[in-house]
Amino acid sequence: MKRFRSMTYPYVVWIGIMIVIPMLLIMLYAFTVDGNDVSSFQFSFENFRRFVTDTVFMEVLGRSLYIAVITTVICVLLGYPVAYLIAQLPSQSNMLMILLITMPTWINMLVRTYAWMGILQDNGVLNTILGFFGIGPAHMLHTSFAVILGMVYNFIPFMILQIHTSLDKMDKNLLNAAADLGASKVQTFLRVTLPLSLPGVISGITLVFLPAVSSFFIPKLLGGGQYVLVGNIIETQFLTAGDWNFGSAISLIMALIIMFSMWLTNKVDVQPATSGKE
């Protein structure tokens, strides 16, 4: 037992250096002002007050949450049917479809987002196709539509994989039992399949909402800098304005929102019923 415990020490050290220390530094900067000189740190809530009292920043926060919610809802609506259909396929076809869905994630997300810039621009692939039908050209790049599309494209594989895992692990005998008891396919889905797949849906919501609400380069590229989200403000504060204190405060606020979201999804998580138990 001691041998296995000692094997965890490198991971503990890595977590301490890469996660704990940076978070402590963020908290230090967030609760201080005039942090350019370590000796001049002054404890203050000014950075948080500045964020919550500025209507522009609060509008950006609301827009970020709105975009993240819309992205998550679309991923659920599109991802669940896809995951359900894949789960009904034979084993070989099932694995092939999962491979096809995960293949785009092997490419860097930044490269994939750049590809969508070429597709959505006024003389891009999509407008060229629309031109054959006498439609357009439609201005799609640097709009909220482009930002949401880019987020859905990048994050929907996480939703599909989580839901598929729940559906694939489901005991198929429960479906046969429901059919033997006279339940229709719709009733079987609503009373057996859907409840048992909810843990996968909840996990998928978590994996989509969290990166969507904090994303910065997708709105920067597909929104053209005109569609600012919280992630863009944090990037600007750190890299352009050089205000690490304010940027750290916003980062901490977003971390709290993310932790609350994780707590909320954990509270509503539904554990599948185990066979043989009431």
pLDDT digits (tens, 9 = 90+) for 107-166: 888 899 999 998 988 888 888 888 888 887 788 888 889 999 999 999 999 999 999 999
The helix-helix angle for 91-102 and 144-169 (nearest 10°) equals 150
Q: How confident is the model at residue 276 (pLDDT cuts 50, 70, 90)?
A: very low
Band the pLDDT of 84: cuts 50, 70, 90: very high
pLDDT score at 82: 95
Please tell me which residue, 133 or 207, carries the higher pLDDT value: 207
The structure tokens 């640097």 sit at: 142
Residue 53 CA to residue 41 CA, distance in Å, equals 23
Note the maximum CA span of the chain. Answer: 75
Contact between 248 and 29 (Cβ < 8 Å) = yes
pLDDT recorded at residue 223: 87
Q: Where are the domains of the chain?
A: 55-268
Average model confidence (pLDDT) across the chain: 86
For domain 55-268, give the CATH number.
1.10.3720.10
Alpha-carbon distance of 160 to 206, in angstroms, equals: 13
CA dist 276 → 174, 214, 273 (Å): 11, 43, 9
Q: Report whether 254 contacts 84 (CB < 8 A).
A: no
Q: Please answer whether residues 266 and 205 qualify as being in contact, where contact means their C-beta atoms are separated by less than 8 angstroms.
A: no
Q: What is the pLDDT of residue 277?
A: 40
> Can you tell me the mean pLDDT for 32-41?
62
